[in-house]
């Protein structure tokens, strides 16, 4: 199985640790979860030059990499503080869902999961309403 370059892995670990701190989230309590996602991000750095979210299927990765929405930290994280990869979670390993629109799959899967650090993260929260009718607000 292909492995990412060490340089890309180092870069992504640094980014992930920094973003967790900045957003008031933590990495998953099962290290293998975090390692798998960081590796996926590093593979995308090698392939696309961008940290495209590794937990989605893309019909055209190159085209998607030109957009902002699924660059880590993606729009869902920046707007709703929700990480469906479980990279940025609470200490109990659950993803924060309290800001997601009702009906979003994250709310259906996990119910309402509150944010222990509401003063941190959500740099794009002003876009939450604008997302209504957008696939991200499904
Ligand atoms: S869901 Fe968003 S924040 Fe989580 S790993 Fe994917 S791109 Fe990053």
Check residue 68 and give its pLDDT: 87
Q: For ligand 1, is residue 83 a contact (CB within 6 Å)?
A: yes
pLDDT in tens, 38-96: 999 999 999 999 999 999 999 999 999 999 899 999 999 999 999 999 999 999 999 99
Is pLDDT of 137 > 50?
A: no
How many angstroms does the Cα of residue 82 sit away from the middle of ligand 1? Answer: 8
pLDDT in tens, 10-31: 999 999 999 999 999 999 999 9
Which residues does the annotation mark as catalytic?
55
Q: For ligand 1, is residue 89 a contact (CB within 6 Å)?
A: no
Listed range (3-7, 94-98, 128-132) with the worst mean pLDDT: 128-132
Residue nearest to atom 8 of ligand 1 (CA): 72
How many angstroms does the Cα of residue 69 sit away from the middle of ligand 1? Answer: 10
Q: For ligand 1, is residue 99 a contact (CB within 6 Å)?
A: no
Q: For ligand 1, is residue 73 a contact (CB within 6 Å)?
A: yes
Instruction: Please give the CATH number for the structural domain made up of 6-137.
Output: 3.90.460.10
Q: pTM of the predicted model, to two decimals? A: 0.91
- Residue 122: pLDDT band with limits 50, 70, 90: very high
How many angstroms does the Cα of residue 1 sit away from the middle of ligand 1? Answer: 23
Whether the link from the prior residue into 23 is cis, omega within 30° of 0, is: no
């Amino acid at each position: 199985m292909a492995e990412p370059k060490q340089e890309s892995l180092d870069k992504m670990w640094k980014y992930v640790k920094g973003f967790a701190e900045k957003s008031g989230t933590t990495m998953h309590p099962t290290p293998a979860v975090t390692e798998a996602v960081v590796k996926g991000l590093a593979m995308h750095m090698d392939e696309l030059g961008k940290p495209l979210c590794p937990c989605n299927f893309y019909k055209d990765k190159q085209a998607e990499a030109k957009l902002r929405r699924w660059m880590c930290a993606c729009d869902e994280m920046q707007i709703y503080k929700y990480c469906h990869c479980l990279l940025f979670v609470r200490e109990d390993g659950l993803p924060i869902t309290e800001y997601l629109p009702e009906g979003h799959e994250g709310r259906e899967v996990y119910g309402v999961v509150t944010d222990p650090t509401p003063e941190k993260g959500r740099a794009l929260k002003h876009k939450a309403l604008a997302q209504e009718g957008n696939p991200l607000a499904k």
